[in-house]
A and B are shown apart, each in its own frame.
Chain A
Amino acid sequence: MSVLTAESLTRQYQLGGHVVNALAGVDFSVSEGEFVGIMGPSGSGKSTLLHLLGGLDKPSDGEITLAGNKLSLLNDKETTLVRRHNVGFVFQFYNLLPTLSAEENILLPILIDGKDGKQYQKRLDTVLKLVGLESRRSHKPDQLSGGEQQRVSIARAMITEPAIVLADEPTGNLDSKTGKIIMELLRRSCDELGQTIIVVTHDPRAAAYADRVVFLQDGVVASQIAFSELDDLAVRRQTVIDAMVELEA
């Protein structure tokens, strides 16, 4: 069953008097529990697609259906509520509030929803265990490493049990070892919690953790690769690199 579908998505920008087609008709869907990677060269429209899918931006044309909600029919407030309850975001630069502890940052979406954080202790413990930060729960962001901060932001994305987690270059600001930990974490949350995830990345190693990789070029879906469960990471990575080379050629 599809958690997310995008039909004929276009997005145009005005840039210095010129019209730029960031997306020029993208059809795309994600099934429940699926882990999708989105790749493509710079300017291919990856981030734009992610912003549209998460309801952060509005398409020029086309329709997005997220957890049964047609986003084009919603006003700003309704979109915000859909985002609040159905989408978790993970950013390249973590975006944690420096004044809050790790667990307070994680509980932020719950608190914003006007709920009492105490009622979510069980869920909090679950995500903290998932990201492996039980012992660092009361630390402030400046007391955590980059990888730990990113794990907090993943936990924050998952606290509401959203329909989908959207991650924008989640390893872009991390060294390869920490990046690997983060991708393994996302993979595990997909496998163990059934979390649907979309990751935008240009790192083939990160993309190799996905079940399916969608390649964008010039604002359209250029190709897709679906991995078999049997493929190991090295094979997957090589497949992604080959596809990229082919695309750029």
Chain B
Amino acid sequence: MTLTRLLILRSIKERPLRMLLSSFGIILGVASILAIGVTNQAALESVTRLFADTSGKSSLIITSADSDGQGFNDNIMGRADRVAGIGVMAPSLSVTTVLAEELPPTEIAFSMFGMDQGGLSLMGIDPQVDGQVREYELVNGRFLSERLDDEEIVLVETFAIEQNLTLNDWVEITTPYGIDKLRLVGLIAEEGAGRQNNGAFGVVPLETLQKYFDRNRSLDQIDVVIDKPDASSADVQQLKNALQQALGTDYAVLFPASQGERVVQMLGNYQIGLNFLSGMALFVGAFLIYNAFSMTVVERTREFGMLRTVGMTRRQVTRQVMLEASVLGLIGSAIGIGLGIFLARGLSVVMEVVLGQDLSRIELPIDLVIISGLVGLIVTLFAAAIPAWQAGKISPLEALRIRGISKEGWFISDGWKVGIALLLVSTALLLWNPFPYDAQFRLGSVAVIALFFGGTFMIPSSVTYWERGMRGIMRRLYGNSGLIGSLNLERSKMRTTLTVAALMIGVSMMIVVWTMTESFKGDLEEWLDGYIGGDIYVTSSVNMRTDLWQRLQSVEGVQAVAPVRYFEVKWYTPDGAEEDGLFMAVEPLAYNEVTSFVFDQTDNGVSEEAALLEMEGGDTIFVSSVMAEKYGLSPGDSLELFTKTGKRPFVIGAVVVDFYNNGLVIDGSWADMRRHFRLNDANAYMVKVNEGISIDTVKADIDDLFGDRYHLIVESNLAIQERVNVLMDQAYSMFDILALIAMLVAFLGITNTLTMNVMERIREIGMLRSIGMSRGQVILMVLAEAGLMGVIGGVVGVIFGILLSRIFLLSMTAMSGYKLEFILPISRVVMGFLIAVIIAHIAAVFPANRAAKVDIMEAIHQD
């Protein structure tokens, strides 16, 4: 213990600067792991909650496989209950009715998502369990009693006010047998479940509703909540499969509409992105720690040599270094956790802005704190193991030399071979992605780390070439001091490598973040252009009946109006497998007038107009290029869709580019939708305005004329795009912060390296000063060395960043099926390089000043 106290604790106490630089790596590493972890978790929880708020908390829903509107018998509950993994099952029955004094609507629309009926939508529920599936915010009175046959109702407050209903009033509703009465016992806010049917919504005890509508023991839907609170999408998928198997083909087990595959994939993508960054943070942290320790060993070569001459064994030396690592690891991790909490709070604020969600509810997960602290300590010990082993290998002869001889180790001479192997293997792994679903994030991150190691291993063998290539430029820029600085780079290749690698990681992280941002934006813009065509986009919280189509067309200044209706459809692959997709029904000619399909190929190369006419003619569909590629479909082929009248073949008239719903989109005509799917309402109307007419005027006119009546949301295409862009910018500002952390890490890495270089070369600097080098020249010498590191780190970082971005985008596509186009932001690439060079110079200011202030007499007499 005495020896430990003297050699380690004293050393830490007496050399605070060096210790600070060493532990900064650990501090930053732990802090970034924790901050990114917390933010990652907070973001996911928040996005999940966003969906849960609007759609309920159910993981799955059970419905009848055939849409005859008659539901299914409630005895299915018993069968479903035998499946393991179910937490809650909430049965429900939905009916559409009108209040007795209200005129019945001309048409009660077919409900696809349970929120577009018009009239009054009533849901029969089991009050005991329903609260665990849907959110009800009671604002007045009480909720339904637990008896399933009480004749009472809870309505949305806004609807009750509109209908002049107050608590304890009798609510008269129209049923197939006339008029029945329910006592109004409570009012809920137009939030959560109350948002349904635009607030014209109420809940009634299940058995009462079954009795009134002659739907005895019949259910429309069972909402299922998985019993694991932190279930992954894989867990839900597993439960879905188990339920489907237990219930048979008469029942459909589905993801809730808003938690459909699209959302799962979207969340998946987001998580993959963040996990990659967590992996990088872990690498940077581990790397900094390794950097700090290997430098410590280099700096103290003579000290270790001396200890060996006075009888310290190799094992004792190694143990001392490892003990020092543990002490630094503990201190660094503790401070790192503090900084991480601080950073996480900052990142959470950004996330709040991005997601518009209150994240203050999110507690700091204690397990994550412990894990990041442990990672800091373990990584420190792991990273210190190699330098400790190297320290043990130091010959006692080193102590007798004035300067430690830096031997060209295996890493310097042959490391590039391992580097190439690591690069190839990790690239292949990331692209091929053979990992099982559960582990792919973690193993993907490991592959990313391996990729960085590969890059790092490649650096040392190239330092000589870089130095030779840049020597002339450095001499021109910095004079003869620049020449000496440039030559210094080769003196400690290991140290140069580690510093350049820190810069490389920082720059490549920036490039990855920027490229991914641009690609996401590009992808989004492309999608928006096609998806929201025309000049004005008209939507509503309820699906809109087609009479609005004619009315919109009659508005002054409107050139054309195109209705769009999306609905889910089952279709069959050429080998008979059943698949889910999205059907987009359009009026082909009107659609083409307002916006247009992006044709990929047509049947026998017929004109695009002819293809549209074919669709107009009926029984012809267009499929997306993604589907065509995935399932080997081409124009002229036939595709079977599951319609109201059973399986029905459709001719593929063309292949079009469409990324919506991950490209799993089938486009068909309005007439086909009405005929085969019995739907006749629109999700949206795209409006094209006559040239020369103000879009804003037309928009205002539409809003004035029909806004209230149809609950319309009228937006100009431009406004939507701007809003999306603002949202995107906010979302990616978080990634910018991560890039900033990476650059901060690189900055500290360079400061660390150069400070240690200066400390090690004090004698030499004293000698140079003694033979006439001015303080200014000393500064230039150090700056030149830093500048050259900046150039190498910048160039390699940019190349690596571009490579990584491509791999990330490709592997993200492989993992999630969501295809992103690679867009290289040239200006950002240049900026990344410049930032590397500038940061290198700024980081060198402190060590350069230190070098300039070296006292000549002291330095040349220093041992």
Picked from A47, A77, A112, the residue with its CB within 8 Å of the CB of B400 is A47
B166 within 8 A of A: no
B73 within 8 A of A: no
Q: In the complex the two chains form, is A80's CB within 8 Å of B303's CB?
A: no
Q: How many of B's residues come within 8 Å of A, CB to CB?
A: 31
A97 within 8 A of B: yes
A89 within 8 A of B: yes
The chain A residue with its CB closest to the CB of B13 is A99
Q: In the complex the two chains form, is A156's CB within 8 Å of B2's CB?
A: no
Report the bound CA distance from A99 to B3 in whole Å.
13
The chain B residue with its CB closest to the CB of A78 is B313
Known: A100-B6, A111-B2. A93 touches B310 (CB 8 A): no
A226 within 8 A of B: no
A222 within 8 A of B: no
Q: In the complex the two chains form, is A99's CB within 8 Å of B313's CB?
A: no
Nearest chain A CB to B405's CB is how many angstroms away? Answer: 13
A112 partner residues in chain B, CB cutoff 8 A: 3, 307, 310-312, 316
Picked from B303, B316, B397, the residue with its CB within 8 Å of the CB of A56 is B397
Inter-chain CB contacts under 8 Å: number: 82
Q: In the complex the two chains form, is A109's CB within 8 Å of B311's CB?
A: yes
Among residues 384 to 416 in chain B, which have CB atoms less than 8 Å away from a CB atom of chain A?
395-397, 399-400, 402
A108 partner residues in chain B, CB cutoff 8 A: 6, 307, 310
Q: In the complex the two chains form, is A56's CB within 8 Å of B309's CB?
A: yes
Report the bound CA distance from A94 to B7 in whole Å.
18
Q: In the complex the two chains form, is A99's CB within 8 Å of B400's CB?
A: no
Nearest chain A CB to B532's CB is how many angstroms away? Answer: 69
Report the bound CA distance from A99 to B15 in whole Å.
8
A168 within 8 A of B: yes
The chain A residue with its CB closest to the CB of B305 is A95
Q: In the complex the two chains form, is B14's CB within 8 Å of A99's CB?
A: yes
Chain B window 10-30, contacts with chain A (Cβ cutoff 8 Å), 1 for yes, 0 for no: 110111000000000000000
A202 within 8 A of B: no
Among residues 78 to 109 in chain A, which have CB atoms less than 8 Å away from a CB atom of chain B?
80-81, 83-85, 89, 91, 93-95, 97-100, 104, 108-109
B3 partner residues in chain A, CB cutoff 8 A: 111-112, 114
Q: In the complex the two chains form, is A80's CB within 8 Å of B397's CB?
A: no
The chain A residue with its CB closest to the CB of B397 is A56
A62 within 8 A of B: no
B737 partner residues in chain A, CB cutoff 8 A: none
Q: In the complex the two chains form, is A51's CB within 8 Å of B397's CB?
A: yes
Report the bound CA distance from A89 to B310 in whole Å.
7
Nearest chain A CB to B725's CB is how many angstroms away? Answer: 57
Max count, chain B CB within 10 A of own CB: residue among A81, A97, A113, A146: A97
Q: In the complex the two chains form, is A83's CB within 8 Å of B309's CB?
A: yes
Known: A91-B400, A116-B2, A117-B2. A98 touches B14 (CB 8 A): yes
Nearest chain B CB to A172's CB is how many angstroms away? Answer: 11
Q: In the complex the two chains form, is B402's CB within 8 Å of A93's CB?
A: yes
A81 partner residues in chain B, CB cutoff 8 A: 311, 313
Nearest chain A CB to B96's CB is how many angstroms away? Answer: 83
B303 partner residues in chain A, CB cutoff 8 A: 95, 97
Q: In the complex the two chains form, is A56's CB within 8 Å of B396's CB?
A: yes
Picked from A85, A95, A104, A111, the residue with its CB within 8 Å of the CB of B302 is A95
B15 partner residues in chain A, CB cutoff 8 A: 99
Report the bound CA distance from A108 to B7 in whole Å.
10
B6 partner residues in chain A, CB cutoff 8 A: 99-100, 104, 108, 111
B470 within 8 A of A: no
A146 partner residues in chain B, CB cutoff 8 A: 861
Q: In the complex the two chains form, is B312's CB within 8 Å of A80's CB?
A: yes
Q: In the complex the two chains form, is A54's CB within 8 Å of B2's CB?
A: no
B7 partner residues in chain A, CB cutoff 8 A: 97
B565 within 8 A of A: no
Nearest chain A CB to B312's CB is how many angstroms away? Answer: 5
A173 within 8 A of B: yes
A57 within 8 A of B: yes
Q: In the complex the two chains form, is A51's CB within 8 Å of B400's CB?
A: yes
Chain B window 114-153, contacts with chain A (Cβ cutoff 8 Å), 1 for yes, 0 for no: 0000000000000000000000000000000000000000
Max count, chain B CB within 10 A of own CB: residue among A108, A116, A160: A108
Report the bound CA distance from A93 to B763 in whole Å.
13
Report the bound CA distance from A57 to B396 in whole Å.
8
Report the bound CA distance from A100 to B309 in whole Å.
17
Q: In the complex the two chains form, is B313's CB within 8 Å of A89's CB?
A: no
A191 within 8 A of B: no
A76 within 8 A of B: yes
B841 within 8 A of A: no
Q: In the complex the two chains form, is A109's CB within 8 Å of B310's CB?
A: yes
Q: In the complex the two chains form, is A173's CB within 8 Å of B863's CB?
A: yes
Q: In the complex the two chains form, is B397's CB within 8 Å of A95's CB?
A: no
Report the bound CA distance from A117 to B396 in whole Å.
23
Q: In the complex the two chains form, is B310's CB within 8 Å of A84's CB?
A: yes
A97 partner residues in chain B, CB cutoff 8 A: 7, 303, 306
Report the bound CA distance from A77 to B308 in whole Å.
11
B471 within 8 A of A: no
Q: In the complex the two chains form, is B309's CB within 8 Å of A89's CB?
A: yes
Max count, chain B CB within 10 A of own CB: residue among A54, A77, A84, A85: A84
Report the bound CA distance from A94 to B556 in whole Å.
97
Known: A99-B14, A173-B863. A80 touches B400 (CB 8 A): no
A168 partner residues in chain B, CB cutoff 8 A: 400
Max count, chain B CB within 10 A of own CB: residue among A47, A93, A98, A156: A93
Picked from A80, A93, A117, the residue with its CB within 8 Å of the CB of B311 is A80
Chain B window 277-317, contacts with chain A (Cβ cutoff 8 Å), 1 for yes, 0 for no: 00000000000000000000000001101111111111110
A47 partner residues in chain B, CB cutoff 8 A: 400
Known: A99-B10, A99-B11. A80 touches B314 (CB 8 A): yes
Chain A window 56-87, contacts with chain B (Cβ cutoff 8 Å), 1 for yes, 0 for no: 11000000000000000000110011011100
A104 partner residues in chain B, CB cutoff 8 A: 6
Nearest chain B CB to A122's CB is how many angstroms away? Answer: 18
Q: In the complex the two chains form, is A100's CB within 8 Å of B863's CB?
A: no
Report the bound CA distance from A55 to B56 in whole Å.
78
Chain A window 158-192, contacts with chain B (Cβ cutoff 8 Å), 1 for yes, 0 for no: 00100000001000010000000000000000000
B399 partner residues in chain A, CB cutoff 8 A: 89, 91, 95
Nearest chain B CB to A202's CB is how many angstroms away? Answer: 16
Report the bound CA distance from A54 to B309 in whole Å.
9
Known: A56-B395, A99-B15. A93 touches B313 (CB 8 A): no
Max count, chain A CB within 10 A of own CB: residue among B305, B311, B402: B311
Chain B window 413-430, contacts with chain A (Cβ cutoff 8 Å), 1 for yes, 0 for no: 000000000000000000
Among residues 108 to 132 in chain A, which have CB atoms less than 8 Å away from a CB atom of chain B?
108-109, 111-114, 116-117
Report the bound CA distance from A127 to B397 in whole Å.
26
The chain A residue with its CB closest to the CB of B300 is A97
Among residues 308 to 349 in chain B, which have CB atoms less than 8 Å away from a CB atom of chain A?
308-316
A76 partner residues in chain B, CB cutoff 8 A: 314
Report the bound CA distance from A95 to B862 in whole Å.
11
A99 partner residues in chain B, CB cutoff 8 A: 6, 10-11, 13-15
B400 partner residues in chain A, CB cutoff 8 A: 47, 51, 56, 91, 168
Report the bound CA distance from A77 to B863 in whole Å.
28
B863 partner residues in chain A, CB cutoff 8 A: 93-95, 173
Given A77-B315, A99-B10, 19 further pairs, Cβ under 8 A: A47-B400, A54-B309, A56-B309, A57-B397, A77-B313, A80-B308, A80-B311, A80-B312, A83-B309, A85-B311, A91-B400, A95-B302, A95-B399, A99-B11, A108-B310, A111-B3, A112-B310, A116-B2, A146-B861
28 examples of A-B residue contacts, CB within 8 angstroms = A51-B400, A56-B396, A56-B397, A77-B314, A80-B308, A83-B309, A83-B311, A84-B310, A89-B310, A91-B306, A91-B399, A91-B400, A93-B863, A94-B863, A95-B305, A95-B306, A97-B7, A97-B303, A99-B10, A104-B6, A109-B311, A111-B2, A111-B3, A113-B311, A114-B3, A146-B861, A156-B310, A173-B863
By a beta-carbon cutoff of 8 Å, the part of chain B in contact with chain A is: 2-3, 6-7, 10-11, 13-15, 302-303, 305-316, 395-397, 399-400, 402, 861, 863
| Leading 6 A-B pairs by shortest Cβ distance | A84-B311, A93-B863, A99-B14, A95-B306, A111-B3, A109-B310
